Amino acid sequence: MTIALWCVLVAALLPLVLTAVAKYGHEAGIHRLNRKPREFQAQLTGYRARAHWAHLNSIEAFPPFAAAVLTAQMLHAPQGRIDLLALLFIGLRLVYAGFYLADRAPLRSLTWFLGLLCVVGLFVVAALG
């Protein structure tokens, strides 16, 4: 299995990590957190709310990234370039999450955009072969 495909798995698991950050250590207890999760999440504040929002954005970012990796591999683009862009995407998504938790909106937006460029780059690499 390629590095890029492992990155797809990491990208798929990242939203779960972020939702755990939103819930971890909350005084409500796990039973209450999971009984009505949408209501619970709507009441989050501070870094917990930002972790939830980063979780939602990670879900949104996953399909284009996974499609880009699979497309690039299906079209036999150079594997080294695919792996590099996939690793860069994952690194940027981790930094993005950190900036989201730290409430650093301009830096968060910059890393989001750079991650988007990685996705576009994967499609370009696929198109150029």
**Cβ atoms of residues 33 and 26 within 8 Å:** yes
User: What one-letter code names the amino acid at 75?
Assistant: L
What CATH number does the domain located at 3-128 have? 1.20.120.550
Q: How confident is the model at residue 29 (pLDDT cuts 50, 70, 90)?
A: low
Mean pLDDT in residue range 105-127: 98
Average pLDDT value for residue range 26-47: 74
- Cβ–Cβ under 8 Å, residues 69 and 124: no
- Over residues 22-46, the mean pLDDT reads 74
pTM: 0.92
Q: What dihedral do alpha carbons 73, 76, 79, 84 form, nearest 10°?
A: -60
Q: Where are the domains of the chain?
A: 3-128
* pLDDT score at 40: 81
- List pLDDT tens digits, range 62-75: 999 999 999 999 99
Can you spell out the DSSP letters for 54-88?
HHHHHHHHHHHHHHHHHHHHHTT--HHHHHHHHHH
**How much is the average pLDDT of 14-43?**
78
Confidence (pLDDT) at 10? 98
